[in-house]
Amino acid sequence: MNRNEVKMKRMRIEQALRAEQGSDSVVVCGWVRTRRDSKEFSFLELNDGSCLKNIQAIVDKGVPGYELLERVGTGAAVRVTGALVESPGKGQKWEVKASELTVIGEAAPEFPLQKKRHSDEFLRTIAHLRPRTNKYGAMFRIRSELSFAVHHYFRDRGFFHVHSPILTGSDCEGAGEMFRVSTLDFDRMPKKEGRTDFGEDFFGKEASLTVSGQLSAENMACALGSVYTFGPTFRAENSNTPKHVAEFWMIEPEMAFADLTDNMNLAEDCIKYLIRHMREKCADDLELFGRFVDKTLFETLDNIEKNEFVRLPYGEAVEILAGAKQKFEFPVSFGVDLQTEHERYLTEVHFKCPVIVYDYPKGIKAFYMRMNDDGRTVAAMDVLVPRIGELIGGSQREERKEMLLARIEEQGLNREDYWWYLDLRRFGSVPHSGFGMGFERLLMLLTGVSNIRDVIPFPRTPNHLEF
Amino acid sequence: MNRNEVKMKRMRIEQALRAEQGSDSVVVCGWVRTRRDSKEFSFLELNDGSCLKNIQAIVDKGVPGYELLERVGTGAAVRVTGALVESPGKGQKWEVKASELTVIGEAAPEFPLQKKRHSDEFLRTIAHLRPRTNKYGAMFRIRSELSFAVHHYFRDRGFFHVHSPILTGSDCEGAGEMFRVSTLDFDRMPKKEGRTDFGEDFFGKEASLTVSGQLSAENMACALGSVYTFGPTFRAENSNTPKHVAEFWMIEPEMAFADLTDNMNLAEDCIKYLIRHMREKCADDLELFGRFVDKTLFETLDNIEKNEFVRLPYGEAVEILAGAKQKFEFPVSFGVDLQTEHERYLTEVHFKCPVIVYDYPKGIKAFYMRMNDDGRTVAAMDVLVPRIGELIGGSQREERKEMLLARIEEQGLNREDYWWYLDLRRFGSVPHSGFGMGFERLLMLLTGVSNIRDVIPFPRTPNHLEF
């Protein structure tokens, strides 16, 4: 291609389909979904990923490039120059009447995405190609828009986005197994008194991948007021479930001058906003999931959007569960952590709407959560929603230095590791609160997809590190 | 604090300062920057991080809480209830006349950020507190807004945001040293034939932290059309320079149906947009850098915003450099990679405006860049800007399968590792192009800050993994 050539710019198919008027000369590029031939012309259904819908191109016999059509099968890339004209066919306003067809790239005959339904399991093995299907194209457009909506929501409310570090020297909340990061030569580990000498490593000490950006976010909130992180986090749990991946994205707002009620208000408002935004901006793509993946999808979303979230102390939640007719695999009593079966019972069966459970027993929660006056519960909260269970976990943080120190010791942590975290409580300490929301869980809620591997482009799970 | 108490919500100081009218009752919370006492009243300068400016609060003798003022030094957190009234003082429209003062958290007397100038080196040792200074508060607000601007720019132009994986099994472009990620027991490494047995590791094989999301982005662009990644990337280079950190954020757009010219156009437009957006949205914060950090800052930004970028083939760049009067540390000839001194000469001295150098010799560029017809250069481009040198590196990707295979073999790479990348060239291959822009470099350009450690909240460098 000559760089100085004046080229007709391509029009995205999404733009073409919502054009207000026809045009004598447009260029669309895309991948062929189907080709149908009749004697005097051929139909091509083209998709360029800009939206769910295809555009139809009609190539008449005799049009330059018509003779190339036999090489154009499903998956081939073509450029069609022509006129954007009203379509006599159903379900589309516009189509392209070709004046020229160019084959950009053929598809080898073994192209796996021929016109038929494929299982999600199969599509995971070709994660590099699955975004070319309707379902995964829609999924990743939704993922993109949801990500934008998150930024938009927080910025609009005066929150600053913070890039919390991925590499960390602290096992910040003891939350799950961590991946270790190193530049040591694994075949010849340097040793000191029989153990690995991390003094030789890149950072001169043990390094891991973060499990949460919270502690960094607290540093920043105690300077900028309201902040949020939105980045990748990691868990090295060796579990093969539809809910776990080793690498996932998390949204963590943190607010200075805010207590647990402010935190619950933010969580509820945020979830409702995101659902509303997405239903407005991604209607076509979501529609696909409502039709083919979960017929009750929009009912669930309506429920969350329209109901006030129930706010329920943990103690009362336990009473409800203990009195429930339903048999649970794990018995419940005060002091025990809730399992997904309990969470789903509360939100799906008992209240039939989202529930925020708060004031959990201190024994099952992290050291940094604020001790309540009863001395046995902490100002923690979990937001439970139908189909997912826990979508958000958060707390008011312990801002009183002596109380925090007591909790650090109680949990056998090393106070030297937290010198900077304790500093926040020495210098102008303020009540502050925040939460974490799993971005993939939110996507599962929004699309009805039940396996987390199918809402992230290239999922990382035990023994899976392809692409 | 009673959760059911109806509280007066705090007003962010940024909101208060741009109020259109006064108010009888406002609540502001913030950290005290200074206190000045006179006989009958005290002035407090409060900052809550929402903007650069402080708000002034006047606390008259006799106001509830007045007696607490002796405990209120620099760094303490307070809540002031009162009236928002026009300020008779200079430089501010509004101030708060307190009707009540509450001390939220005192600052221990050793609070390090007393009213005086601190060196950047010192402030790095208290990275958890430095965002409470004017300079770093401004920096991290700018960082947040710039991050939003990036998303806004690409979304507006039909690009989809892709979360490319951080954990990777492929040394994607051989670009620099990689960090290894593992869950093996470092003290007792499993061995197989004398070497580490990665079959026992979490992923069943060697895993690293990504150095670029490009290859993933190509997968997605060849389905969705235009995409971009914006996430953390890692280099384990053991270099202590003002330009290197181990963890940094990178923006990588990738466009299907686009050649090198489209790529250059996007890069130029994107940089100009981001500068324009930031000057509009963060005027106060940028002003600080123009005054105290780099007096030529706005001149540099004007230069970039207003000039058309020069587009210069690498061959011509070499001729210019070879003919320059300036002595370079590294001599230049065709086939040699340009150093920062050369890049800065071209953009600062010779052209005095941004320069895009393109068509680099294949020997110094990565395997995936598209071979030009001359057989000795590839369709690569670097964008050079004053003060920074290379801000962007990009290329048109090799979309021809046989050419790509030849390059893979030529560079001694293992073609089996790239089966999925090669698949893109088997099934509807299209010309596509993209680039990478270092987010921190962009921030350095925008603020005039010369050390990368000072544009990222918690920098990671050799032997530094604190906070």
Residue of B nearest to A461 (CA): B203
Confidence of residue B461 (pLDDT cuts 50, 70, 90): very high
Q: Which residues of A touch B457 (CB under 8 A)?
A: 162-165, 216, 219-220
Q: Which residues of A touch B378 (CB under 8 A)?
A: none
Residue among A76, A137, A460 whose CB faces B428 most closely: A76
pLDDT tens-digit map of A233-247? 999 999 899 999 999
Question: Would you say A427 and B170 are in contact if contact means Cβ atoms under 8 Å apart?
Answer: no
Residue among A247, A257, A467 whose CB faces B10 most closely: A257
- A10, pLDDT greater than 80: yes
Chain B touched by A417 (CB under 8 Å) = no
Measured distance CA(A288)–CA(A52) in Å, rounded? 9
- B1, pLDDT greater than 50: no
What would the mean pLDDT of B145-165 be, rounded to a whole number?
A: 98
- A226, pLDDT greater than 80: yes
Confidence of residue B176 (pLDDT cuts 50, 70, 90): low
Sign of CA dihedral B274, B279, B282, B285: positive
Chain B touched by A26 (CB under 8 Å) = no
Identify the residue whose tokens are 């108490």: B5
Specify the DSSP element, H or E, that contains A269.
helix A260-281
Which of A144, A195, A216 to mutate to test binding with chain B, by most B CBs within 10 Å of its CB?
Answer: A144
Q: Do B104 and A467 count as a contact with CB atoms less than 8 A apart?
A: no
Of B3 and A314, more confident: A314
Chain B touched by A190 (CB under 8 Å) = no
- A172, pLDDT greater than 80: no
**Binding-face residues of B in 75-104 toward A, CB within 8 A:** 75-77, 79, 104
Percent of chain B scored above 70 by pLDDT?
Answer: 97
Q: What is the ipTM of this complex?
A: 0.97
Q: How far is B229 from chain A (nearest CA, A)?
A: 10
Q: How far is A331 from chain B (nearest CA, A)?
A: 30
- B127, pLDDT greater than 70: yes
- B3, pLDDT greater than 50: no
Q: How far is A19 from chain B (nearest CA, A)?
A: 15
Q: Which residues of A touch B158 (CB under 8 A)?
A: 12, 14-15, 50
Residue among A186, A205, A457 whose CB faces B162 most closely: A457
Q: How far is A264 from chain B (nearest CA, A)?
A: 11
pLDDT at B90: 83
pLDDT tens-digit map of B18-57? 999 999 999 999 999 999 999 999 999 999 999 999 999 9
Confidence of residue B117 (pLDDT cuts 50, 70, 90): confident
pLDDT tens-digit map of A375-430? 999 999 999 999 999 999 999 999 999 999 999 999 888 899 899 999 999 999 99
Q: Which residues of B touch A234 (CB under 8 A)?
A: 166-167
Confidence of residue A89 (pLDDT cuts 50, 70, 90): confident
Residue of A nearest to B106 (CA): A428
pLDDT at B8: 62
Which of A103, A181, A233 to mutate to test binding with chain B, by most B CBs within 10 Å of its CB?
Answer: A181
Report field, pTM of the whole predicted structure over 0.95? yes
Chain A touched by B71 (CB under 8 Å) = no
Measured distance CA(B34)–CA(A359) in Å, rounded? 38
**Binding-face residues of B in 355-384 toward A, CB within 8 A:** none
pLDDT at A116: 82
Confidence of residue B4 (pLDDT cuts 50, 70, 90): very low
Chain A touched by B196 (CB under 8 Å) = yes
- Beta strands at B310-313 and B247-256: parallel, antiparallel or unpaired: unpaired
Residue of A nearest to B372 (CA): A1
pLDDT at A5: 42
pLDDT at A454: 98
pLDDT tens-digit map of A322-337? 999 999 999 999 999 9
- Beta strands at B94-105 and B55-60: parallel, antiparallel or unpaired: parallel
pLDDT at A3: 42
CA atoms within 13 A on the CB side of A125: 6
Which of B427, B429, B430, B433 to mutate to test binding with chain A, by most A CBs within 10 Å of its CB?
Answer: B427
pLDDT tens-digit map of B221-260? 999 999 999 999 999 999 899 999 999 999 999 999 999 9
A228 DSSP 8-state letter: E
Q: Do A106 and B466 count as a contact with CB atoms less than 8 A apart?
A: no
pLDDT at A2: 41
Chain A touched by B458 (CB under 8 Å) = yes
Measured distance CA(A176)–CA(A18) in Å, rounded? 48
pLDDT tens-digit map of A396-410? 999 999 999 999 999
3-state secondary structure chain B: CCCCCCCCCCCCHHHHHCCCCCEEEEEEEEEEEEEEECCCEEEEEEECCCCCCCEEEEEECCCCCHHHHHHCCCCCEEEEEEEEEECCCCCCCEEEEEEEEEEEECECCCCCCCCCCCCHHHHHHCCCCHHHCHHHHHHHHHHHHHHHHHHHHHHHCCCEEECCCCEECCCCCCCCCCCEEECCCHHHCCEECCEECHHHCCCCCCEEECCCCHHHHHHHHHHHCEEEEEEEEECCCCCCCCCCCCEEEEEEEEEECCCHHHHHHHHHHHHHHHHHHHHHHCHHHHHHHHHHCCCCHHHHHHHHHHCCCEEEEHHHHHHHHHCCCCCCCCCCCCCCCCCHHHHHHHHHHHCCCCEEEEEEEHHHCCCCECECCCCCEEEEEEEEECCCEEEEEEEEECCCHHHHHHHHHHCCCCHHHHHHHHHCCCECCCCEEEEEEEHHHHHHHHHCCCCHHHCCCCCCECCECCC
Confidence of residue A4 (pLDDT cuts 50, 70, 90): very low
What would the mean pLDDT of A290-307 be, rounded to a whole number?
A: 98
Which of A205, A427, A429, A455 to mutate to test binding with chain B, by most B CBs within 10 Å of its CB?
Answer: A427
